[in-house]
Structure 1
Amino acid sequence: MGAMDDGGSAWGTAVDSPTEERNERTRALDQVPTRELLELINAEDRLVPGAVATSLPHLARLVDLAAERVARGGAVHYVGAGTSGRLAVIDAAELLPTFQLHEGVVLAHLAGGHSALAQAVEGAEDDAAAGRDAVSAVGAEDVVIGLAASGRTPFVAGAIAQATEQAAVTALVTSNPRAGLLRHVDVPIVVDTGPEALTGSTRLKAGTAQKLILHTFSTALMVRLGRTWSNLMVSVVATNEKLRARTVTILCQATGLSRPDSAAVLASAGGDLKVGLVMALTGAEPAQARAALERSGGVVRDAVRATTP
């Protein structure tokens, strides 16, 4: 029994990570009034943006590497288990309607598959072979980003090992600066959020940090790929009434046209916001604007530059 009690193999090996340490600031978590309980958690949450800020130089490198490869036909693969994997699935899914991104450009691989989105799949995160299988088709033009709060998830480790063997760019997003896996990736992204308010519950600060890293990375990647105009979502897919109204608003904001005039331009453009924007900014006819966008790879700024007399 003694060997098991002190971290023997029957009960797993203790994880060496700040995320598993006890938080001295929240020891009274179960004894304080509800308002104070919430304030304790909120005080810990406020530490996350500062921790994320320290990772931005490495994140910038990852964005640039990913943009280069996606522009050449490569893909970005997120790999994670539990909260990490679920956040990855959400981020990847939201890129399709927000930026009119084609399927297969940014993909998420969740340990345990789609069923793990709604409930835990026992043992899924410990399956390194499944991690390898998840990215078995990647190549040198692809990017594999592992997400693991403790930096040791076998599913993620297996994926990174496989990606490395196939010459893909690799990265790890972790809240553990001591993670051994950091030595095996091209781009280490450490967001040291420290001990959680509830010891070991990495869906709290570590999860928040991963969400910030993911949406910052993917938004910056879309900007670098030319899927925005200024800070406007000109690639949005108008699939419902709210988004159709938003496309009119975006055209108004980008051009200074009135809503009726913007709506008329969009109608002439067949509802394509990018085509309408090039038309409004250059005076081009729909066919001319569409052709300019095709030549520019869908980048509005380049299409406008090429079309303007």
Structure 2
Amino acid sequence: MSVKSNLTRRIFHLAALAGGLVAAGPAWAQAPADPLSSWNDGKAKSAILDFVRRVTTEGGPDYVKPDERIATFDNDGTLWAEQPAYFQLLFAFDEVRRLAPSHPEWKETEPFRSVLAGDTKGLAASGEKGLLQLVAATHSGMTTSEFEASVANWLATARHPTKQRPYTEMVYQPQLELLAYLRANGFKTFIVSGGGVEFMRVFAQKAYGIPPEQVVGSSGVVEFRAGPDGKLDLFKEPKVEFVDDGAGKPVGINRFIGRRPILAFGNSDGDLQMLQYATAGDGARLALILHHTDGEREWAYDRNSSFGKLDKALEEGRARGWAIVDMKTDWKTVFLSSR
């Protein structure tokens, strides 16, 4: 899809009103002899193992108490894929198609017409206003429970447009191992993502072993009021409350976690400030960037991508000696390998 990065990222944040991923089993809970068995031996794996050893060795100079072992992970492009578009955005397009029979006027009304016709140029031409209309139509005007159900139903049947796999199988096996390894060593793992907090909170525990209270994301306004039937409930409104991306990530960490992470993992320029914030603290720190270099098993992209652009963060990461995880060389496998 040829929508510019800054526009699509902004609109994606406005779609922060979703919920639901159903995973078939707690693959993240498995603990093989090599806790990072899907990682090839190399600088990235060594940096992780060495860091965890140092911060968990009591009496050592870099020891960190368990309650301060905070690790934050971006979601899109870091824990699961984000091409050819953010999955929450693909959900919005599919919802327009699902709801279209109840809205015959959409066949002649932009941007709905373009979505229904598969006209990406027309969709791009509708601009921010058009995408806002799509978000309003698919992410608001319902209760939080109703929205959660709609996303869960979508994920139960939808398939990735090019990989033809359920979205529940587009998570990264090496990252599941890393999350489990960190938790086994006293870390508390958090998602800090530009994606919708309600979208992620439904699937995070089953997919990653991260409970909903440890998910920080963008959010829309939710109101507690009576519905048409007089029943009190939480209703989703088409208004932005908080954007958890870029400089918003350290703000979100402070607001919802209350501790500076000692480990942060991202994959795009939208994660740069989170990585800067994590490494600005005292004591041992580890920043990691996932570089998408595998065009055969996944995708190869960075500076010129419309989704997950990696430019400034990669440059700063290399200059500061952050751990750059090369997907092609550092990972034995990419996607979730067992269910």
* Normalised TM-score (structure 1): 0.36
Structure with bigger gyration radius:
1
Q: Please state which structure has a larger fraction of its residues in helix.
A: 1
Flag the structure with more relative contact order, 1 or 2, with Cα contacts below 8 A and sequence separation at least 6: 2
Q: Please state which structure has a larger fraction of its residues in strand.
A: 2
* Normalised TM-score (structure 2): 0.33
